[in-house]
Chain A
Amino acid sequence: NAGVMQNPRHLVRRRGQEARLRCSPMKGHSHVYWYRQLPEEGLKFMVYLQKENIIDESGMPKERFSAEFPKEGPSILRIQQVVRGDSAAYFCASSPERRGMNTEAFFGQGTRLTVV
């Protein structure tokens, strides 16, 4: 059972371009979470999705960022018109059900976005 798979591992974009980050959850997991780690900062929650639904996007910047988790295929975090401040590591996590006392989320290796 493969773990949470993120790709690409490294992504370089010029200012103004679009970045698409992909996350394939662990088999059997239907909940996906995205976190961002800015340089020298802790990981911050961005968005929580279930299949075809955004449950909580309270941590997402209001502009340029969007996320989806379609019925088929990976979850996508999309950043339009990237700026240098978007440079960060973006981590995806998945869990098999709504978080509770006996579940934990499993994290991918992250995508490191560099905006030049």
Chain B
Amino acid sequence: KQEVTQIPAALSVPEGENLVLNCSFTDSAIYNLQWFRQDPGKGLTSLLLIQSSQREQTSGRLNASLDKSSGRSTLYIAASQPGDSATYLCAVITSGTYKYIFGTGTRLKVLA
């Protein structure tokens, strides 16, 4: 049974810092891994999708890496800004299924 864990659960950093959010999953047979952002009371915004054959994806100040063999992904945020404050969710699709399995998220607060 696929399980997704995200650490840390919460993170508070001063503006301008580079930071790393971690995601681990127990079953390495995945189709893809996706990072989402969720603002309080709002929906999910897709940030980056990494297919199982890829090792990383980049979008602006965000870079996500995937190491299937170790069951890990990291989301790197460069030069953090207060507007980056949100909950970041990691989700995987296990091969042969279609369900997202979500982690419980990392609540990020970037202080001005």
| Chain A residues proximal to chain B, CB less than 8 Å | 31, 33, 35, 41-45, 48, 56, 59, 91, 93, 95, 98-102, 104-110, 112
Contact = CB atoms under 8 A, between A and B. Distances in A.
For the residues of B in contact with A, the DSSP-based class is strand
Interface string B11-43: 000000000000000000001101010000111
Name the interface size band of chain B. Answer: 20 to 34
Given A42-B102, A95-B98, A109-B42, 8 more contacts: A33-B98, A33-B99, A43-B100, A91-B43, A93-B100, A99-B31, A104-B32, A104-B34
Contact of B89 (A33, A42, A105): A42
Interface of B: 4, 31-32, 34, 36, 41-44, 46, 49, 51-53, 89, 91, 93, 97-105
B93 to A, nearest CB: 6
B34 A43 contact: no
Contact of A101 (B34, B41, B53): B53
B104 A41 contact: yes
Contacts of B43: 91, 107-110
